[in-house]
Chains A and B, each alone.
Chain A
Amino acid sequence: MIALFWANLKMMVRNRQATFWALFFPLIFVVVFGLFDFDGLGSSRVAIVAEADSPVVSQVIGGLAAIHALDVREEVGPAFPLNVANGRLQVEQGDLDYLLVLPPDPGPSDGEQSTRTPATLVYASGDRGRNQLVIGAVRDILAQAGSGAPAGSSAMDSQASPGTGDGLLHSEAVEVSQVSYFDQVLMGLVAMGIMTNAIISISVRISNYRNLSILKRLLVTPLPIWKYFVGEVGAHLMVALVQAAIIMSVGVLVFGAKIHGNLAWILVIVVLGSLVFLNIGFIVSGWTNNPAAASGMGNAIALPMMFFAGTFFPTAALPWVLPYVAEALPLTPMLVALRDVANAGEPLWNTWPQLAILGGWVLATGAVATKVFRFN
């Protein structure tokens, strides 16, 4: 069995073309997605929280809302403490870029600036340039609102008098692990590469072996045939791990992606997911009669799954019942688990629902594979 494992590994390494393309395919996507600056697009999300409305509050909201690059949400009302706590959490989780907490009583609008309780700006550390711009703009607006000067028209270019709002704003950076779109896509590409390689490589190999009577030749030896399958699966798992490592390395080293989770846990998910897709590969080989057909059917399964399971886009963006279809695909739990661990830095056991679903998929596809597998 060990001999079979090494022999299979050797054969896969020597089949350079197939191995190269199996690796190259997801790497093309890594490069394409790595070159786009998705996070540079769109606006920064700001939430303004105040307990009660006042002229100053209105002026600040109006002033910030007028800034084109900011997407402003206002929460004014008695739920103030809860809103502050929520907002803080959202900043920490990366769902919100800025939280501006306006004090319950901004103070007399015509009084000394220093008597006013300062407002607090909670922001995610990371994009320093953007943070400086936003802090300056908020400070400026606060100063203008306090001084009774017309607000709203100032926008970001009114930083000419930066010192004026000093006592009015207390800014507070929150250390958050910035998860960029590319970080998430990178995990999608890891899963995609493993899925396509597992399904297509196994189905084409088995189909080829069957057509060449190699499987038959193994059957006339006393080798228990399960050992052959263990050797085959073991070699493919090894390749899957190497593949995942290469894709992640290119993403991190070349395109500056960040992986926050534990690498060993990522590899555990990779192995579990690989088992599902290897089983699907065995099923495809049982349903087709030659390597070309196996490759075609393998692609027909892998490519739609790649899109529907949310490799590149959130499944919530899918129309109609398709988000539910996406939930039913085996790639989805693998992607969710990979992103929870790699992007959100969660421990492996927090992803147990996904791991359980993947485990179920391993058993179900294994049962079907055993049923439809053919030696002749």
Chain B
Amino acid sequence: MVSDTSVHIPKTHYEQFHDHPIDGQGLKQLVSAALSWLKTNQQIVNKLNVFPVPDGDTGTNMVLTMQAAFDEIATNPERNTGKMAHAIAHGALMGARGNSGVILSQLWRGFARALDNQEYLDGRSLVRAFAEGRDTAYKGVVHPVEGTILTVAKDTASAAEKALKETENPIDILTKIIPAADESVAHTPELLPVLKEAGVVDSGGKGLFFILEGMLRYINNQSLDTPLTTVQPLSSMNLEGSLNTLEPGQDYELIIDFQPSAPLVLEGFYNQLEEIGTSIQLGEGDGFYRLHIHVPTEKRYEPIDYTMSLGTITKVSMENLVEQMEARERESGETKLPLAIVEPGQIAVIAVAPGPGIAMIFASLGAAAIVEGGQTMNPSTQEIVHAFENLPTDKIIILPNNKNIILAAQAVKLLTVKQVEVIPSKSVPQGLAAIFCFAPDGEFDSVVEDMSTAVNEVETGEITTATRTVEIDGVKVNEGQLIVLHNGKLIYGTSSLEDACLGFLEKAQTKQRENITLFYGENLTKQEAYRIADVIRSHYPNQQIEVKDGGQPHYQFIISVE
């Protein structure tokens, strides 16, 4: 803290507030600081929630209430503290959220009433304002519950009255009541058993503490951006990437385990790190500290250098957040299926799909739900039921798309009261051919019939790698060779993918057909798939050839010819 000496020092917040009268604009600065500090610690307050109680996120509610209070005065040029306090109280009242917000607004209301028309905030009026805030808040409830924000307000007001005996400077009084508020918060579990059982302190009380502490931190020129829960147990550190958006300067995440050679001075430690990065968390346990920080690319080694200067580093992990964020976006883009919305009374199609690409195609063709599954992972009957039981219709058509899944799909009928028909599609191409004939508003029986007929109008080719040497139907293949199945029947073994495709197409009498669709699997690259499509095109120039990313496991290609 800067001391009050005769040497002239540059004008600091401390000098401004300590040595000059606090007017309405000063009060506004303090409210702004309180809001910032409360926001910084919002999650800490939220986590103090005694589950399960109805007043959910106390931190959020208090932040919203303080935000409303600040918004009310943000552009207010008023210099009279009393009038400013009334404006704050009005904003808090209008924006009060949740129990804690209402109590907070009552504290401000009493605070404002005590300052009525007071030009400056002096020590006496500050103490009176705390007392009036407490009285007003207590009036708002029949049976005040102790061990809550009310108790903290009461203890703070008492501490202020006591401090007034020693000093009349409002800032000195504020400085003295912060530890009292802190102590009062720590004492709340003794007064309220439910807190003790949950092993937490009262969230509203803690929020009030942050509001007061934020004001003092601002006056003392301390940062309002880094949560100062000081050190938390390692187990409670929240290191899971829950970032939704990256802000500039959050390129890398560093987690550093270190053992300081001398006890850490947290104040200096945080100040130093704030120069480097954001989202700073410090955890302690098992004799070491764990530091979490987000830093811009150019400063990615600085936290390491800094912690190394303090002691011994045992472990460092560094992650590129920008890259992770992009990867997550790519993933979420893929998993979001454009499923059909089913209206009551319509028919819904449930398709079993062996890969994300194929799932996407079924969804875009009108499937209302997708069940993951295929050759090597057959979905259970239960999984299929889950997929449709919440749809708002009782007319259900299932496309198993694999001959091993047809039975499981048919068993669904025993588990549901809905009207279920299974189209016996033995492969993805058959399923696709069927869904092309699907009409959601059609007559159930005739739609089922159309779809069942369509199944047989397509030739299915599947190309995969033989897992063992085998001879079936006179065709011998060796382990590791590519095998070709035509409508589920083994026809061919070869070592080249082009050969496999061409062999199947010939067998399927493709010359007399119009369309060839190639779904390439997860074990094949796009380039490779397109290269093979070009080879096929040179052999079948009259046919329409489409290449789609099926994403299915194990099968290099699923080929549909129609």
Whether both chains belong to one complex is answered with: no
What residues make up the interface of B, taking CB atoms closer than 8 Å to A? Answer: none
What residues make up the interface of A, taking CB atoms closer than 8 Å to B? Answer: none
